[in-house]
Amino acid sequence: MNIGFIGFGNMAKTIANGLINEEVTQKERVFFSTRTKESRQKTEKEWGITGVESNQAVIDSADVIILAMKPHQFDEVLQPLTIPKEKLVISVAAGVTSTKLEEHLSKNQYFRVMPNLNAQVQASMTAIVENKEVDSRQKEVVETLFSAIGEVVFIPEEQLSVFIALAGSSPAIVFLMIDTLARSAVKYGMSKDTATKIAAQAVLGSGKTVHESATSPWDLIDQVSSPGGITVEAILNLMQSGFSGSLIQAVDKMVEKDNKLSNN
Ligand SMILES: NC(=O)C1=CN([C@@H]2O[C@H](COP(=O)(O)OP(=O)(O)OC[C@H]3O[C@@H](n4cnc5c(N)ncnc54)[C@H](OP(=O)(O)O)[C@@H]3O)[C@@H](O)[C@H]2O)C=CC1
Ligand SMILES: O=C(O)[C@@H]1CCC=N1
């Protein structure tokens, strides 16, 4: 399957890397375009894949086209293109609604998909927005592509804003938490590298425990918090200083921003 990317920044590179590593496609079958020649040439040199000179050339070369530009670039990019109806188009952009995509694409040829940066390690949590107009073969293609880079869930479009907060953007929050935990240990003399590895493994294990245990996170907090012990000091301190409130506000801000982008 030839896969084309329009826009080849952080997200597109992450997806392409996952698809090549998982042998869903081969380097020779990946094509991309960027805004600037410099970025295209640099990526070609570093990645050994084919950059093409125009966005139309991506459409012409690929069976599946992944739109991975910034949301505000969509109209400008899609307007001049001729996209045959048999090509499957996947948009990974936040804030570019189905209604917006249908200004440029047929109802039965596209999916909105929201992966996350953890696709780098085949651990994305990806949402595919349900589209009842596409056929089962296209659905299978999109599911196969994104299952290669992690977990996949089908959701209605109304839930995408909150999904972005929960999974598309949340890696940044978790990275902030890992970095802050590690930095706090540096204060006590541990090296940043060691502290980061330790904090990352603790976070990785905690996610795995939640996944694999029938116990809720709330009950797991109690299991770690020995009576009169150390953990409960932190939990109560975080509760007093508004940790949960800050996270709730952060989710609200992300949903608000996605709605704002979607209404533009
Ligand atoms: N980063 C993430 O974790 C996630 C991002 N997304 C979505 O992915 C999309 C891309 O985000 P991200 O990768 O972070 O952004 P980047 O800024 O890293 O990449 C954007 C890419 O688009 C290219 N581009 C801009 N204008 C054009 C154009 N006219 N024609 C062709 N290519 C163009 C840029 O080219 P050049 O290099 O020359 O500037 C660049 O390669 C966004 O819509 C975002 O919502 C979704 C999930 C997670
Ligand atoms: O920050 C953004 O807009 C994109 C969407 C999800 C992750 N990155």
Confidence of residue 12 (pLDDT cuts 50, 70, 90): very high
Q: How far apart are CA 53 and CA 66, in angstroms?
A: 16
* DSSP 8-state class, residue 169: S
- Tens digit of pLDDT for each residue in 174-222? 999 999 999 999 999 999 999 999 999 999 999 999 999 999 999 999 9
- Tens digit of pLDDT for each residue in 50-74? 999 999 999 999 999 999 999 999 9
Class of domain 170-262: mainly alpha
Class of domain 3-156: alpha beta
Locate the domains of the chain by residue range. Answer: 3-156, 170-262
Confidence of residue 172 (pLDDT cuts 50, 70, 90): very high
The pLDDT, as a whole number, for residue 264 is 80
Confidence of residue 11 (pLDDT cuts 50, 70, 90): very high
- Tens digit of pLDDT for each residue in 82-141? 999 999 999 999 999 999 999 999 999 999 999 999 999 999 999 999 999 999 999 999
- Ligand 2: atom nearest CA of 93 is 5
The pLDDT, as a whole number, for residue 229 is 98
Task: Name all residues whose Cβ lies below 6 A of ligand 1.
Answer: 6-12, 33-36, 39, 55, 68-71, 73, 76-77, 92-94, 114-117, 168
Mean pLDDT of all residues belonging to the chain: 97
The pLDDT, as a whole number, for residue 135 is 95
The pLDDT, as a whole number, for residue 117 is 96
- Ligand 2: atom nearest CA of 171 is 7
* DSSP 8-state class, residue 153: E
Alpha-carbon distances of 211 from 141, 145, 217, rounded to whole Å: 27, 23, 10
For residue 169, which ligand has an atom nearest its CA? 2
Checking if the pLDDT of 26 tops 90, the result is yes
Please give the order of strands across the beta sheet that includes 150-155. Answer: 50-51, 30-33, 3-6, 64-67, 88-91, 110-114, 124-129, 150-155
Mean pLDDT, residues 245-249? 98
Q: How far apart are CA 40 and CA 131, in angstroms?
A: 32
Q: How far apart are CA 207 and CA 219, in angstroms?
A: 14
Task: Name all residues whose Cβ lies below 6 A of ligand 2.
Answer: 94, 164, 168-169
Mean pLDDT, residues 144-172? 97
Q: How far apart are CA 65 and CA 55, in angstroms?
A: 10
Confidence of residue 13 (pLDDT cuts 50, 70, 90): very high
The pLDDT, as a whole number, for residue 195 is 98
The pLDDT, as a whole number, for residue 134 is 96
Test site for ligand 2: of 67, 164, 256, most ligand atoms within 8 A of the Cβ: 164
